[in-house]
Structures are given as structure tokens and as C-alpha cells.
Amino acid sequence: MESYRIALFVIALVAACAPLLARLPTRLRMPVVVVEMLLGMLIGPHIFNWVSPDGLVGMLGELGLTFLLFMVGMEINLGEIHGKPLALAIGGWFLSFTVAMVCMFFVHAIGLIQAPPLLAAIALSTTALGILAPILRDEGILNSDFGKLLLSAAAMGEFGPLMVVSLLIIPTHSTFLHTVFIVAFVGITFVIADTAINARSSALINLLAQTMQSSGQLPVRICIALQALLVVLAGEFGLNVVIGAFAAGMVVSLASQGDHGVILRQKLDAIGYGFLIPIFFIVSGMKFDVSALWANPLVPVQIICLLGLLILIRGAPVLLYNKVLSRSDRLPFALYSATGLPMIVVITEMGVSSGLMSPDRAAVLVSAAMISVLLFPLLAERIRVHS
């Protein structure tokens, strides 16, 4: 027990230092999730070996993963991205996934990147909505036409890969039974969502509002219970549990629209981004095998190729945006869309834990994703400023 206390103290200290280090006045300011992973690598067993990512620490990391997907689900506001932006985003992601499949089968065939082509294609077709949203907000373009198109593309860049990896890559039943369970889970989620939406205009809202500032915190407790319920249902139906967390986030997002939901979202943000989600990224950094980056002389070439593939794969949908994006906005759109660390970490974690991906291949993918978060938004901003 004493060792766990020390481990939790070290992780808490790292989590507290990460936002401070991320705000240091440097020319290449790092997103906080990158700092968390880098610090996790330092304290983990592969460098200083101060903390091990197992036991209670590992369990908190798994809770952080489910809360991350819960918050991702909450960030997808279908009311803001419906219509043409959503249609373009769906078509664009399917185009990205097709290009990714072709590219990964080719590079796998020539032996350049030895990772499962389907899993690698899913990882490379992601976009980091949770990282892009605050960046776009800080740049003042979140509510612009460019920002709305990019947000819809980023939302699909998280939703699409998550659905594919959870429903097709890691099934635990026969195809027919798995399909039945998927339909049943979706049906139950829709019923819960409909109930939650109808409750927005009922007297229940007044009761929830009264407890928001008290020790009862009933709305927060209901959200946590809903997340736990859908996670359990997803697990019982043979789906990946992150699907349950993601669905719970979307339900809460639908139910918490308007002024009444602002305080609730702030409280859930505090629980997630202030406590559980940093632990997930720190633990992910602790699991990162640094030695894999120089175990093979091809690794630097692989990382450079992966960065190029990220731009190609997530930039391909720009072809569909010719009529709605100016010529000067197309390259920044591709660079922003190619920013994909959190979901790549999630997908590689799922791949490694299920035995579909080796840890050294996951390390290469995550390294490329970390560089994309550092480099692509910065390049996109400077291109837009000078265009």
C-alpha cells in the first residue's frame, strides 16, 4: 500500500506540473497531453522506473481512458455540425479510410512499416478533436465557417475510427450474434438519449438544478452512473467498453444543451481533465517503450513516412471541399485534420492489449502522432496568417 501512495503522489505531481510546463514561453509550445506523456515516459519503467503502470495505477489509467472517450462524446455537438458540414465530414472520413487502407497495405507489403494494415489505417485516419477545439478557440476561428467545417471533420475523425476498431477489429462473438448485440446496444442508447432529451423540458430539470451547488451533485452523479451503465452494457454485449463511454458522452451532450448544461459540463470537465484523463496519458507514457525508437535503424524513416501518410490520408478529403474552402485554406485544413494523438494512443492501446499490435510498432505510431500534435497545428496557423 505504501508503494501505491508514493506512486499516486508522483503521478499527481506530474499531472500538476504538466500544464505549467505546457505554458512555458517557448517558440514550440507543446500541448498538455504531449507533456503528460513525456513526463510519464520519464517516471515509467523504461527510464527512471519510479512508477509502474500496473495495479491501482493501471486501473486509474483505464478509468481515465473511459472518461476521455466520455468527454470526446460530449464534444460532438450534432446540432452545430449537421447538414452539409456533416455530410462532407462523413464522405471525407470514408475517403481517408480508403486511402489509408491502400497506403498501409502497400507499405506493409514492401516491409517499410510492419504493423497490422487495418489497425494502422484506422489509427492514421483519426483527428484529435479534443486538441484542435482549444487551439481553434485560442486562434479565434472556432466559430468561423472554416472552424465549423474543421470541427465536423475532426468529430468524424474520432467517431469513425472508434466505431471501426471497436465493432469490427475486436469482436468477441460470431458475426451474426455480434451484429445483434450492436443493434441492441444502439437501440438502448437511443432510448436513453430520447428520455434524456425529453427530460430537458420537464420539472426534473428544476430538481437537478437545485442540487447542482449542493453536496448532492445529483446531475454529476447521474452522468457518472450513465457512463458506468453503458460501459457495463457494452462489455456484456461483447463490444469494447470505450463504445459505452463514448455513447454516454453523446447522450449527456444531447441532454445538457443550453444554459442549464453549462455548469454541468464545467464540473465534468474538472473531473475528467483535472483528474482521470491526465492519469491515462501519464500511464500511456509510462508504457511507452523508448528503446523501440532506436532498436531498428528504419524507425526514423518510418516516423517520417507516417507523418507524410497522416497528411496524405487526412488531407485527401480536401478534394471534397473545393467549393467551400478557399485555395489558401486547403493546406491548413489538411494539417489541422492530420493532428491525431489522443485517438492514436487509444487505438494502439486497444491493439496492444488485444494482441493485434506489438508494443514496438505502437511506439512508432505514437511517436509520429506526438510530432504531428507539435508540428501540424503550428504550420497550419502560420500558413493561414501569411496567406
CATH code of 227's domain: 1.20.1530.20
Does residue 292 register a pLDDT over 80?
no
Does residue 329 fall inside a structural domain? Answer: yes
In a domain, 317, yes or no: yes
Residue-level pLDDT at 167 = 65
Structure confidence at residue 274 (pLDDT): 92
Domain enclosing residue 361, as ranges:
64-279+294-386
Q: What pLDDT is attached to residue 78?
A: 65
pLDDT at 203: 58
The verdict on residue 34 lying in a domain is no
Question: In this structure, is residue 194 part of a structural domain?
Answer: yes
Cβ atoms within 10 Å of 247's Cβ, excluding its own? 27
264 found inside a domain: yes
Q: How far apart are the first and last CA of the chain?
A: 58
Considering only residues 60 and 112, tell me which one the structure prediction assigns the higher pLDDT: 60
Q: What is the mean pLDDT of the chain?
A: 83
Question: What distances in angstroms separate CA 136 from CA 57, 80, 152, 286, 337, one per listed residue?
Answer: 33, 15, 13, 29, 12
Evaluate whether residue 196 is within a structural domain. yes
Q: What is the pTM of this model?
A: 0.83
Q: Say if CB 52 and CB 7 are below 8 A apart.
A: yes
* Residue 282 banded pLDDT, cuts 50, 70, 90: very high
- The pLDDT tens digits for 123-135 are 899 988 767 776 7
CB 311 within 8 A of CB 368: no
The backbone region for 77, taken as left when phi is positive above 0, alpha when psi lies in -120 to 50, beta otherwise, is beta
- The dihedral formed by the CA atoms of 54, 243, 246 and 164, expressed in degrees to the nearest 10: 110
Q: What is the pLDDT of residues 66-106, one digit of tens each?
A: 898 888 888 776 666 667 888 898 899 999 999 999 998 88
Per-residue pLDDT tens digits for 222-235: 899 999 999 888 87
Counted residue by residue, the chain has a size of: 387
Residue 170: is its pLDDT beyond 60?
A: no
Beta strands (DSSP E) in 49-99 are none
Q: What is the pLDDT of residue 99?
A: 94
pLDDT in tens, 18-56: 999 988 876 667 778 888 989 999 999 989 999 999 889
What average pLDDT does range 183-197 have in this prediction?
77
Is residue 193 a part of any domain in this protein?
A: yes
Please give the tally of structural domains in the chain.
1
Read off the pLDDT band of 176 (50, 70, 90).
Answer: low
Residue scoring higher pLDDT (277 or 354): 277
Task: Give dist(CA 359, CA 353) in Å, integer.
Answer: 9
Residue 381, in any domain of the structure = yes
